Structure 1
Amino acid sequence: MLSLLAIGCGVLSSLTMTGMIELLYWLSSAVLPSHSENYEDLSPNFRFILPVAACLVLTVFWYLVPERGLKVGIPYVVERLNYHQGNLRWLNAFVQFFGAFIGLFGGLSIGKEGPAVHIGATFGSRLAQRFRLSYIGVDTLVACGVAGAIAAAFQTPLAGVLFAYEVIFHEYRLRLVLPVLLSAIVATAISQWILGRIEIFELQAVFMPLYDLEMLAAYAVLSIGVILAAGLFYQVQRILWSVAYIPVWARFLAVGVLTGVVGLFYPQVLGSGYDTLDLLLTGEVLAVSLFGLILAKVLLTSMSIGLGIPGGMIGPTFVIGGLLGAQIAFWFDTPIPISEELGLFVLLGMAAMMGTVFQAPLTAIVAMVEMTHTSVAIPPAIFVIVLSCITVRLVFKQDSIFVERMHSLGMVSEWSPVQRLLRQHDVRSVATKVDIFPELLHFERVRDLASGMIDYVAIEKGGRYFVVSVTSLVEAVQTLDFGPQPWLIEDQNRIAMSVLQAVNSTQLHALDSSLSLAELLSWLHQNEQHQVLVNFSQQEELWLVTSQQLDQMLLKG
């Protein structure tokens, strides 16, 4: 079942991602000259009007949507996983899709991959809710949706899986990885079938000596550039998070006007910017300063996201890193031919910027290998990515941009080891199944219970559940050796036992099976209870969870 649902997640995520790409390509090609990202050939007036108009449309759209649907993006996905059993709403996914589409069509400096992650996660969540899967099943299908979206966007299945675990869950869940891999490879196949093979650029196999001092200096300078760009990218957003009280129309209009003004001087920053990297790699000379272009891209993207535009950051970080790498390649005269040197440093910059901003080093390295179909750049990539990630985390105390956003909202992005252990186990792995019986039990049923392996039974009376131990039932029957008992009742010409009169019972609450073990433990503590029933209504089953069972599991874990 989980594997079939994982395939479904991969199909839906890939169709959403490729559908967004194709629709954007079709509409943008109808407006822009030559190709779908050619904002440079637009007239200056149109370069200013287009982003302003897009932000005005976004503002109207935002006011038409109910407030509960306005939370979008990867931080919202993490919030729903941590605080709402992974229950993602369709309305938010709808707002994310159309909001990002409007912004992308208007040339705003945002990415389409982040919105696709949200939508893919929603597909996984809704499938899990539809089939009433346990909390582990919800997590797995959400990861399937995330991995499928990233895999379809870049045709990098393994990077998609690592992104789900490094960025969304902050841990590697190897025992649950097979369905996620299945989703990612299905999404990649559909993406290649619809879009063809995505070739960003090819890097030829060259000899790159790590012990060469000039090369090491170039790698170190590239790391410093990535660290500074990632720091600025985060600090601008952190400042803007504090002005969320400003009305939406003012924030969105500010983004549109600023994008339009910058687009007058740097049209290359409009849209995704991948075409600018393509020009550099084919030997074209840009008429603007690379350093100015990098600064403009960092500021525009961080301001757009920080002021609430529903876009992603993955694509822009790739472009910012690639431009940084190109700038470093022009500064240093390394032993590598200039064409191969430029491709190498663009690639290293892309991977390092993405890995540093999201604190996802393995995702960045694997994505680099899968996009270029070669492992030649792995040693320098590890050097640059590790140096920049460690410096940002240890020296500047800066975590993933999504983690920082969660902290700014007063929420946790990951749980303690105890909470994590509880969330990774299914309720039935530590619970005891109890059979449900009526209040009157014929003696034949009581004898069957005594000879069985059941420890507890639940007596249903008036919609309430009372739990009694089988041992107490057997002891009550033995008292008949001393004479008739008051709990003997004639029922349908047969002698029966009134269980609730015969033995001591405990009335317990029956909670829904969608709750995780962590939430059950929290409920027990808050209500000062030691036992609770979990109702699997679809299977018509009751399971008994005790604080003692949870303690034993935690001690073992």
Structure 2
Amino acid sequence: MKTHIALYLRNFRHQLAYLDALPQLTFLALLAGVATGTVVVGFRLLVDLPLLSLPEHIDNFEGLPQSARFWLPLFGATALGALLMWLPSRRIKVGVGHVLDRLHNHQGHMPASNFFVQFFGGITCLITGQSVGREGPSVHLGAATASFVGRWLRIPNNSMRTLIGCGVAAGISASFNTPLAGVIFAMEVVMMEYTIAGFIPIIISSVTGAIITRAMFGHDHSFVIAHSQLTSLYEFPFMIVIGIGIGLSATTYSWILRSSLSVAHWPMVIRFAIAGGLTGLTALVFPEILGLGYDTIEDAIAGNFSLQLLLAIALTKLVISSAAIGLGLPGGLIGPTLVIGACLGGAFGIIGQSISGVHSDGLYVLIGMTAMMGAVLNAPLAALVAILELTHNPNVIFPSMMVVVIASLVTRRLFNADGVFLALLSAQGHNIDSNAPRRELSRIGVLSVMNTQFVVSDPVLECDDAHQLLNNQPLWIIFENPETQSLNALRAADLASFLDSAPEKVLTLEESIQLAELPGKRLAIYPIHDTANLLEAHQLMKAHNAEAVYVERSHRPVVGTSIVGIISRDAINNHYKVH
């Protein structure tokens, strides 16, 4: 029975090495969606249950006594810093930036220690009122959960890339209750590409995550607004002003966040204490900055804030949230950008209404949310879809498209600012090279390209043994070079050519055949594991200035060789040209 299961899993992994492994990827996506949805629901429950003790409703930090609004974030951040300061710096990297780094530079292998730091650190931040969001942690938890599923099944690294995207989509879907936005976010922000082969598995995973979260929390959308719409096209010039204003705000947010990284060498407990102290001090005057802030968005939509208060909340939330995340708190920034955008949009709506009589019945709040999220993340499509799913109001799309484009142009072209996650990685010394050749090679597993027409031989052969080797019609002969103690690959055609004109002493068995001394092309080959992709094979060849690598099983068999194939540089080049 175990033998049959092992054989099935081996064939399953082999099929995943190909570009068209859609049925296998769909099955994995379902597993990742179930696992991620369960983890994110557990994360949300552990956050929501303590917050039930807040006055009136969850996230109502405004109802706390003034002293509690100061001490809760200060104590929570300081205690968290005191706990995490004992861990190595590589173990406390969390968030969307960490996911991008692991996906693009480490084949999607997510460390378990960082998962637990994100899980419990994110919970601590959210229940102590830090000015951060839960969506960033959900992305990390989803990606890590999917990575654990893939590593448990030992799937090839080319499929791990898609599986990480599935986890990200399910994480966003389970956190936001927005399955389509989860798909777009995963492909636009994390995978940085749109492929037909990736869409179906990611959609399956995102829908699965949404089903699980809706089964637990219901399926009501977050923000209710009347089906308002623009009353006149004359409002569009004002939309340009809004886009410029929010673009400047998004640029400022990213700048403060990056600037806060300059003190990353300070002890963690001090950095966290500063973040908590700033949050607590500001909350003495503006408690709306505490927590997720979704109740603040609802108040902005309902028109419960004055112009001065909207601007004050937007400014303080912008400064405190960006500084807190830059100082290292393990929280997200998507939620804060929505709050900032909502307040800015509401403020612009009030200004427009006072100047020209434009209507501001919550529509401008949603426009601001879309533009701020899209400009900060450099993900306009994900922002548009997220707001559509959160409100179920299609009227927001038409004006939001214009505003988010202008805001994105201000950040990208006027200030030459990348999306905040890429900017963070760059500031930390990590670069993501997502050019087309790398992406293409990373999608293909070595098992799908390797040549299996080879034989493993002793370095010294008799003539009869050489003929016996060639009876199997191999293309390559692999042997250990006695001088270098490393494996070499010899073309079988070169051995056949030698035998056709072999010296008399070789034919009469007076002399043996030294494979390392035969005329012909011998390649020094280096090992690569069977879960690798073509990008890893290419990088290994480049590192050793080699022309070929041999693929070996992750687990050495009891009998026989662990080598399962050989890949030459020409094979990689030819495969890339074909595809």
The normalised TM-score by structure 2 is 0.86
Find the aligned partners of 1:481 and 1:521 in 2 and give their Cα distance: 39
Q: Note closer, same or farther for the CA distance 1:488–1:190 as it changes in structure 2 (3 Å cut).
A: farther
Corresponding position of 2:179 = 157
Offset, 1:445: 8.7
- Kept after mapping to 2: 8 A contact 1:465/1:510: no
RMSD, aligned CA: 2.9
Q: Does 1:526 align with 2:543?
A: yes
1:62-461 aligned at under 5 Å gives the runs 62-208=84-230, 212-213=233-234, 215-285=235-305, 289-333=309-353, 338=359, 341-439=360-458, 450=470, 454-459=474-479
Gaps of 5+ in 2: 1-23
**SS at structure 2 position matched to 1:289:** helix
Q: Is the 8 A contact 2:523 2:546 kept in 1?
A: no
How far the C-alpha of 1:264 sits from its partner, in A, is: 0.6
Pick from 46, 49, 52 the counterpart of residue 71 of structure 2. Answer: 49
1:27-50 deviations in Å (ceiling 9; x for gaps): 0112x1111211112111111110
Q: Which amino acid aligns with 1:347?
A: L
> Quick one: distance in 2 between partners of 1:207 and 1:336?
14
Partner of 2:15: none
* More displaced stretch, 216-225 vs 94-103: 216-225
The match for 2:493 is: 471
Describe the SS at the equivalent of 2:266: coil
**Structure 2 CA distance for aligned equivalents of residues 209 and 451 of structure 1:** 82
Cα distance in 1 for partners of 2:509, 2:142 equals 58
Q: Which moved more, 1:115-124 or 1:530-539?
A: 530-539
Structure 1 residues 321, 421: closer, same or farther in 2, change over 3 A? Answer: same
Structure 1: any 5+ residue segments left out of the alignment? 490-496
SS in 2 for 1:542: strand
Q: Aligned in 2, Cα 1:374/1:47: closer, same or farther, shift over 3 Å?
A: closer
Aligned residue type for 1:311: G
Q: Is the 8 A contact 1:73 1:115 kept in 2?
A: yes
Cα shift at 1:250: 1.7
Task: Answer with 478-487 or 344-353: which moved more.
Answer: 478-487
Amino acid at match of 2:199: V
Partner of residue 492, structure 1 = none
Q: What residue is the counterpart of 1:494 in the other structure?
A: none
C-alpha contact (below 8 Å) 2:119/2:137 kept by paired residues: yes
Q: Structure 1 residues 269, 501: closer, same or farther in 2, change over 3 A?
A: closer
Q: Deviations over 1:177-204 (max 9, x none)?
A: 2111111010011110011014222344
Q: Distance in 2 between matches of 1:326 and 1:6?
A: 39
Q: Distance in 2 between matches of 1:385 and 1:360?
A: 9
Question: How far apart are the structure 1 equivalents of 2:105 and 2:411?
Answer: 28
Stretch of structure 1 that moved more, 253-262 or 325-334: 325-334
- CA 1:42–1:488 in structure 2 vs 1: closer, same or farther (change >3 Å)? farther
In 1, Cα distance between equivalents of 2:92 and 2:569: 39
Contact (CA 8 Å) 1:436, 1:457: kept in 2 or not? yes
Cα gap change, 1:217/1:500 in structure 2, threshold over 3 Å: closer, same or farther? Answer: same
Q: Would you say the 8 A contact 2:300–2:365 is kept in 1?
A: no
**What is the CA distance between 1:422 and its match in structure 2?**
2.4
Letter in structure 2 aligned against 1:508: I
Aligned partners of 2:357, 2:395: CA distance in 1, in Å? 13
Q: CA, structure 1 residues 159+454, in 2 after alignment: closer, same or farther (shift >3 Å)?
A: farther
The equivalent of 1:12 in structure 2 is 35
Deviations 1:234-260 (A, max 9, x none): 111121111212221221111111111
CA distance in structure 2 between the aligned counterparts of 1:507 and 1:389, rounded to whole angstroms: 50
Between the aligned partners of 2:508 and 2:464, the Cα distance in structure 1 is 19
Distance (Å, rounded) in 2 between the aligned partners of 1:350 and 1:54: 28
- What is the rounded CA distance, in whole Å, between the counterparts of 1:207 and 1:51 in structure 2? 39
Encode CA deviations 1:482-519: one digit per residue, 9 max, x unaligned.
67636589xxxxxxx97848956555222223444333
How many residues in Structure 1 have an aligned counterpart in Structure 2?
545
Letter in 2 for 1:74: V
TM-score by length of 1: 0.89
Partner of 2:21: none
